[in-house]
Every structure is written in structure tokens, then in C-alpha cells.
Amino acid sequence: MKDTPDPGPTFPIALPIQLAVNGKRHQLDLDPRASVLDTLRDRLGVMSVKKGCDHGQCGACTVLADGKRVLSCLCLAASYDGADILTAEGLGTVDQLHPMQQAFLDHDGFQCGYCTPGQICSAVGMLDELAQGMPSHVTPDVRKVAELNDAEIRERMSGNLCRCGAYVNIVSAIREVGQGQAASAALPMPVAREVTR
Amino acid sequence: MTTDPKTASVGQDRVRIDGPLKVTGTAPYAFEQPTENPAYLFPLTSTITRGKIRAIDASAARALSGVLEVLTHENAPKLLAKTDTELYILQSRDVHYFGENIGAVVAETQEIARHAASLVRVEYDTEQEDTRFRPEHPERYNPGKINTGIPADSKQGNVEQGLAEAAVTVDEVYATPYEHHNPMEMHSVIAEWDRERLDGVLGVLGERPHLRIHDASQGVSYERLMLLPLLGLLPQQVEISSPYVGGAFGSKGIPHAQVMLTVLAARLMPGRAVKYMLSRQQMFRSVGHRLTTHQRFRLGAAADGTLTAITHDVQQSSSRLKQFAEQTVNATRHLYAAPHRETSTRMVPLDIGPATFMRAPGEFPGMFAQETAMDELAVKLGLDPIELRLRNKPDTDPESGKPHSSHHLGECLKEGARLFGWEKRQAQPRARQEGEWLCGMGVAAATYPRQMTPPTKASVAFREGKYHVGIAAADLGTGAWTVLTQIAADALKVPEEDVVLHIGHTDLPLAFLAGGSTGTYNWGSAVMVAAVNFRDRYGLTPAEGDEAEGSAFFPDEAKKYMLDAYGAHFAEVKVSTVTGEVHVTRLLGVYDPGRIINPRTANSQFIGGMTMGISAALHEESYLDSRPGYGHVVNSDFAGYHIAANADVPDVQARWIEHPDPMFGPTGAKGIGEIGIVGVPAAIGNAIYNATGKRLRELPFTPAKLVE
Ligand code: FES
Ligand code: FES
């Protein structure tokens, strides 16, 4: 054979990485090529994050890393040393669903459910971005705080593909949670109850 | 169904039973099934289109630490019967298409497997190939029969006479591209071989190999039936599970090569589970696609719109390795009345991977042509397109003369027009402009037939105070977990909480796959019969362990009728005069679906189909590089192959007119998984014509085709 390829460095090379996943700390020795996504799924058995493309094109792998939504397939685990990762099962459990999970259930915001954990993490992160006043492509005036409306939700959720086509129900679910959050933010601070003797 | 309406579960809005698992991400899909110390597979795929493998040098890969095995045709276990050419892999040096699985590396981790695969060197002797689809291809052939077993050609009356008599005619060519299903969950397999004591039907067989598979499958029973003759195994030796499937749309209907590849690799390391999830790029190679079509459609009509002739001549792509003859002409044979009618199907053999079912095979491409042609006819006649369709509604099935078991297309069209505000539509194109946007409305009819279903069974067993209902069905996101529970609860006359459903495993009673929109009426029928048998035998107070089976029942009388679901799609679009971009601002579907078991999951099925219809209309096309030496899809990821995103789908609504149809079986349901996509691209294309005056006859409607 003419050009027998150079096999490159001998694996495994292992890098010591610390990750907190859904509140649990892990000290890991990782292949430097490993993504956060593959580390969660193949090394830690955390399957509540999904792989839909491995190329940052579908959103199925969305997790909250230190509170921000990220595509975990594009995150090398080595560069997330020390990060706090939250997946859908860290947001809520079957017995105690997160309000966003409850809203997806109530509005039937899914069919096969494969894009769903990513949609839910993305929606939680997205409402947070909106609350912080980040504009989007459809925000009419970027100097003003973007308001929560369907166009903003659709635009900001367009990185999360759903082949089952649950989009209109996804928007209803997020709208409901977003409006609830906005309403509770507008409530006056609770006043301490008077103590009677 | 005869349950007391107060306690009935069927027809009620029910949250998905599998919902809590899905919103927390804890429903285990195939790749996520717990396995001890699995090994990971990465495939070797051909980089030529046609020829023979001369040599494979895997020495560098084998030398890599962590590599467990390199599988090629040289060391692959022998398969027994060549019952399926798509699954009969690694048995020779032959290469049939670009990207075909020609081997695999198995390693301790995914990273190592993938790296090692890149180190394997393959030399080929190439042969002359042909991957360029074109009409009038010299080798095109008549397949005799097309899918669903109907003849490839049909003829009634004399179409030339019918066209000569017509006051107005349409004669156009319509085309649909290759498409790929792209469920969000890529196909995934875990295979493990063991040895087990087998006490089979043939007596004690002793120690025999036992194969355990976790697959993303639309039907484990039929998957197993297809694998057995190739592997030379008895049914008891193969076990397949698939409780949750992350979308399928036909691509997981029958097993493709990746299942056999993983099974063969695992055979080389008994006792160790081998896992393989395709990459998104590999999804464009060997797990099926929607074939491409070239369709000549001719219509003739009298001045009042009455059709005199319909002809539909289809030429479509085919893999030389395995034919898939889509029933593109089917709906044309049944939807509209006309005394003179003719259809034909020709296959164009190419060196490409096999096509397979993709949501509404046949009806999807065929109805794009038919419903666009009907709109063109309406324009020529100066007639409202809804009125044209109503005038040509047949009294009986135009081909067989049989009466329809139920037929509510007219209601769908009229009710849809009312709900959509059709009266606001201007018949004249380019009559509505808002800034840079030209706006328009379009309509198309939809139809989807009753498909034949091979034997399907279900069981009911009473254990620990619960009724355990078993059937090897599959829930692809369709809602089967929920609706089968509802059907079982009513049939057993118990609350849903007392029913525990078991699906997605070959240990359960044999069931036909989730395909052809048959799931609810086919599995539902089997569950109802099993429940009735159970109550007949054990009454209302069964004892622990009591069990009964039942087979799906369909009335004999149904043979006397033509069985179809119907619907109508209404689209409103705006088209930019600057960029040619199309926005579907509203889409409404109104259906005649028989009985609706669960309005919530049904609604999702309809809007899901319609959303995929928007996707097909605006974006989807797999570009096959057909230059010599190539033959692969160049846009093989989501950056190149666009599917509808959230922002593409502002307002999609479904309504239905519920007329339960007992000829479809005891559930009265007609099947709703596919009709939501049928005709949607035509409705959108017709709306684009109404907006712009431009008639598009090729999918998808990309900006380049519309820029002014
Ligand atoms: S898997 Fe990360 S974006 Fe698709
Ligand atoms: S629910 Fe199936 S892909 Fe979104």
C-alpha cells in the first residue's frame, strides 16, 4: 500500500475534567476530542440530552451550561472544565415537572419527543435572554426591550428543529410560561404578614 | 363503540401517557437502552458508485489501541437466504451505490471507531455507472405492479377522444425531487449475540445463538420476519425491542443495511453489545429516501368544468439494487370522475441506494401533480377551484364502480372555505399587494386510502389488579401509547388507570408495522377483539393470570366498498417581489378522518403532516451529484437540506368532520398519519400562483424560481 496513513497520537490521551451535571459532580478523564454531548451520553449515561446532528444544526443537544443555552455537540468537554450543566431531567422530574415541561405537556408541544428536551432547555434559556433585554432578528427596535410575542418566540426558537412539526404547540407552551413569568415579575414584593400576639 | 358516553375514554382529550418521560428526556430511545460495557461501531462506506472492491488495508486501523474489530466482506459472517438485496450486505466485493456500507470498525469508544475508520484504505475497480435521473431514459421499464400490489398502468375509455371532446385542456409536466425523511432521532441499533438454551417448537434444541436487538423501528414483528431468513435463525432466537422511536416517517418501516451491519459486527464479538447511531450525513445514504418523479398530467373538461379525461404518466427513479415502485398514480385513479382515464408508471433504473416509504408515498407526489393541474384547469375555465372539485366529485369509485364507504370531501371543502375566509380571495392573480409582498390563497384536496394490513394480534392479561394489554405496535410520536390505552379501556369497560399497555417488543403478539396510516384502526381492532374475547371468557371479575388473545377484525362487507379518508388544505402565502421568498402565513386543513380517538394527539398528527408539507413545498430537495464518479447527495446535513423551522410555521390549524366509518374496522377511525401532508405543496403552489401569476410545477418553491 502506498501511503499508509499516520495513525496520529496513540489514544487514549486523557484530560482531567470536572463537570457538574444536574447537580452531581463528576471528575473525569476524557479524550480531548470528546464533546460535552458525547460525554454526557456515553460516559455518564445522561440520556436526557439528545443527538440530532452533531454539527450545531438542529438544537436537540441544547443544555443549560452555567445557566446559558448552548449546543452541547459543539462544546468540547475540555473547554467546559468546571461548568455546571443542566439537562431536561435536571430541570424537573416526572413527579415534579418544571413549568416549561408542564406547559409542553399541556399544549402537546411534541410528538416523538426526541427534540423535546432540547426545545425545553432552549425555551428556558430563551426566556431568560428575553428577560435580560437581548434583541433578536425580528425585534423592531433594538434600542428598546424586546417584548414577548409569538414572532419573537418563533425567531428565537428556530435553532431547535422539530421534524414532527409541533411548532405551533411549542409556541403556545412557551407563550404561556413566558406570560406567567412576566406576570409574576410584575407582582409587588410579598409583604411580611403581621404577627399577632 | 358502544360504551356509555359518560365513561367513554375514546373521543376524549387525553394528555400523552408517555408525555412526562418525554418532556424530561427520560424515555429511553434505542441508543439509550442500558447496556453493560458496549462497543461502538463506525461504518466504512463506499467512495465509488459502482464496481468491485479490489483490496482493503485495515492494518493502520487494527493497530490503533482501542480498536476491537474491523468488519469487511472478507471476514463477515455468511448470510443464508438472499431474501432482501438491501440487507444482504458484505457477502461480495460488489459496490452498488455511493455511500453503501462495505464494512465497519468496532472500538471501545465512538471517537476511536471514527478515527480508525478514517485510516482504512480501500481500493476499487470501478465500473460504468449511471445516477442521472431523466425522463425517457433508454432503460426505463414497466414494473408490472406498483406498491400496494396494484397494476402499474390503467386504462378506461379512450382518453384521446375525451381530450378531443374537451372545451379546455391542461397538459403539463410536474416534478418532485428526492427527499430524505430525517427524523430527529438518527437510526440507531444495539445488537448483542449470546448463547441460550432454546426449548423451541421443534423440541429441545439445546444451546443456540440468541440475538438481542434494540432498534428504532416502526414495527419489530415485521423487522424480525425480514431478518430471520437472512440470518438463518428461528423466531425464538431473535428478540427486538423498540419502545420509543424518535420520529420515522417511513424511514424506520423496514430494516435497512445499518441493522444488518451492526448485527454482523456483533456476531464477531459474542457477549458484547455493539452500538451504532448513524451520523446525520449517513442518513442521506442508506436508510431510504423519497424517489424523484417526472409526471405528465393531462386534463380535459367541458365548458362547465365537467371532466372528460384524466391522464397521468409517471416516470420515477429506482435503485438497481432494490426496486421501490411508488404508487404515484393511485389517487388519480379514484379522486375525480371522468369517463376517459389512463395512468402509467415507468421506473428509471439507477446506481443509487434503495428508496422507501416516506410519509404518504404515492399520494404525496401524485397529488402535487393532480391538484396543481386542477388549479390550472380552474384558471382556464374561469371557475372557482373549489367549485371545479365539487362538480367532479364521483358518485362511486371511478375505477371500480364500488360505492364509497363514506365520502365527505365536499364537506371538507365547503367547511374549510368558510373557516378560512375563502370568499375574500381575489380570483385574479396579483390582485393583493402589501408593500413588497404579493399575497394569495390556494386550495387543494387530500385523500388517503385504506391500506391492507397483514395479520395483527393483541393480548389481554389480568395481573395484580391491572389489565395488561400487549401488542407489538410502535409509537413514533403518533400517540399510540395513549390511544391504544383509551381503546382498551373502553373495550374492557374499565378506567384508563386500570390498563397497562405494552408495545414495541417481539415477545408481544405479532403486529403489522406503523405504516400506511393503519396503526389506530389495525392495532385498535386487535385490541378490541382481544378485550371482547377476554370478557367473554372470564367475565367482569377475572382471576389473577387470566389471559386472552384476539386478531384484528374487519368486516367482510368492506370488500364491497371503496375506503378512503379525505381532506382539504387551504393556504395563504405572501411572496416577496424583491427576493422571491415565500412565507406561508396561514395553513388550514379540514379532514374527514372517521372517528377521532384522541383530539389532542390527532390534532398534532394533522398539524405535523401539514408542517412537513410546508417544509416540502418551500425547502426540501436532496441534490444528487450525478456526474461520473459521484452519485451522492451533496447537501447531506441540515445546513444544506433545509426543513421547516419554527419561524416558517406561524399559523397551522386542523379541523375535522367526524363520521366514524365501520368499514375501516371496529374503531371507525380512518387513519390520520399521512393525509395531513397530501396536497399541501399543491395548495401552497396554487396560492403562489394566485399571489404572483407564476405557475410553479417543480418542488420545492425556492426563491430563485420566483424572483422577479
Ligand atoms: S446535535 Fe447539537 S445541534 Fe444537533
Ligand atoms: S417531537 Fe419529534 S422531532 Fe420534535
Residue B672 is predicted with a pLDDT of 97
Dist CA A60 CA A162 (whole Å): 9
pLDDT of residue B635: 97
- What's the whole-number average pLDDT of chain A? 90
In which residue are the cell numbers 367532479 written?
Answer: B392
Note the ligand closest to the C-alpha atom of A62.
1
Mean pLDDT of chain B: 96
Closest residue on chain A to B477 (Cα): A112
Is there an atom of ligand 1 within 6 Å of A61 CB? Answer: yes
Q: Give the nearest ligand 1 atom to A59 CA.
A: 3
Return residues 93-152 of A near B (CB < 8 Å). Answer: 93-94, 97, 101-102, 104-106, 108, 110-117, 120, 150-151
Q: Is B674 considered catalytic here?
A: yes
How much is the pLDDT for B208?
Answer: 84
Residue recorded with cell 385504506: B450
Checking if the pLDDT of A11 tops 90, the result is: no
Pick the residue from chain A with its C-alpha nearest to B20. Answer: A94
* Domain B19-30+454-551 class in CATH: alpha beta
pLDDT band at A197; cut points 50, 70, 90: very low
Collect all residues of chain A within an 8 Å Cβ-Cβ radius of residue B22.
110, 112-113, 116
The mean pLDDT of B24-50, rounded to a whole number, is 97
Q: What local confidence, expressed as pLDDT, does residue B629 receive?
A: 87
What number does CATH give the domain A99-186? 1.10.150.120
- Kindly identify the ligand whose nearest atom is closest to the C-alpha of B605: 2
Among chain A residues, the shortest Cα distance to B611 is held by A165
The closest-lying atom of ligand 2 relative to the alpha carbon of residue A110 is 1
Q: What is the DSSP string of A105-136?
A: HHTT--SS-SSHHHHHHHHHHHHHHHHTT---
A159-192 CB burial, b ≥16 within 10 A, e <16: bbbbbbbbbbbbbbbbbbbbeebeeeeeeeeeee
Q: Is the ipTM of this complex over 0.85?
A: yes
**If you count residue pairs, one on A and one on B, with CB atoms under 8 Å apart, how many are there?**
226
Q: How would residue B7 be classed by pLDDT, with cut points 50, 70 and 90?
A: low
Rounded (10°) angle between helices A99-106 and A116-131: 120
Cβ pair B680, B610 in contact under 8 A: yes
Class of CATH domain B188-284: alpha beta
- Which pLDDT does position B123 carry in this prediction? 98
Q: Judge whether B610 is closer than 8 Å to chain A, CB to CB.
A: yes
Ligand 1 neighbourhood includes A71 CB (under 6 angstroms): yes
Q: Which residue has the higher pLDDT, A143 or B369?
A: B369
Nearest CA to CA, how far is A118 from chain B (Å)?
9
- Please report the pLDDT score of residue B345 as a whole number: 98
Q: Sketch the domain layout of chain B as residue ranges.
A: 19-30+454-551, 31-126, 154-180+289-451+560-707, 188-284
Amino acid at B126: T
> For position A194, what pLDDT does the model report?
42
Which residue minimizes the CA distance to atom 3 of ligand 2? A162
Query: Quick one: pLDDT band at residue A145, thresholds 50, 70, 90?
Result: confident
For B660-685, what is the mean pLDDT?
Answer: 97
Alpha-helical regions (H) of B104-219: 110-119, 159-165
User: Phi and psi at residue B379, in whole multiples of 5°?
Assistant: -60, -45
Ligand 1, from A35, A42, A54: best to mutate by most atoms within 8 Å of Cβ?
Answer: A54
pLDDT band at B200 (very low <50, low <70, confident <90, very high): low
> What confidence category does residue B400 fall into, taking pLDDT thresholds of 50, 70 and 90?
very high
**In this structure, are residues A54 and A73 in contact, taking their beta carbons and an 8 Å threshold?**
yes
Q: Is B63 left (phi over 0), alpha (psi -120 to 50) or beta?
A: alpha
The Å distance, Cα B168 to ligand 2 centre, comes to 45
Is the pLDDT higher at A187 or at B44?
B44
Q: Residue B372: what pLDDT?
A: 98
Of A169, A112, A104, which Cα lies nearest the Cα of B653? A169
Cβ(A56) – ligand 1 distance below 6 Å: yes
CATH topology of domain B31-126: Aldehyde Oxidoreductase; domain 3 (3.90.1170)
> For the domain with range A16-91, which CATH number is right: 3.20.20.110, 3.10.20.30, 3.60.15.10, 3.40.50.300?
3.10.20.30
pLDDT tops 60 at residue A195: no
pLDDT-derived band at B204, boundaries 50, 70, 90 = low
- Chain A residues closer than 8 Å to B185 by CB: 50, 52, 112, 114
pLDDT in tens, A151-175: 999 999 999 999 999 999 999 999 9
Domain spanning B154-180+289-451+560-707: CATH 3.40.50.300: no
Q: One fold for both A16-91 and A99-186? A: no
CB contact under 8 A, A167 and B652: yes
Domain pair B31-126 / B188-284, same fold: no
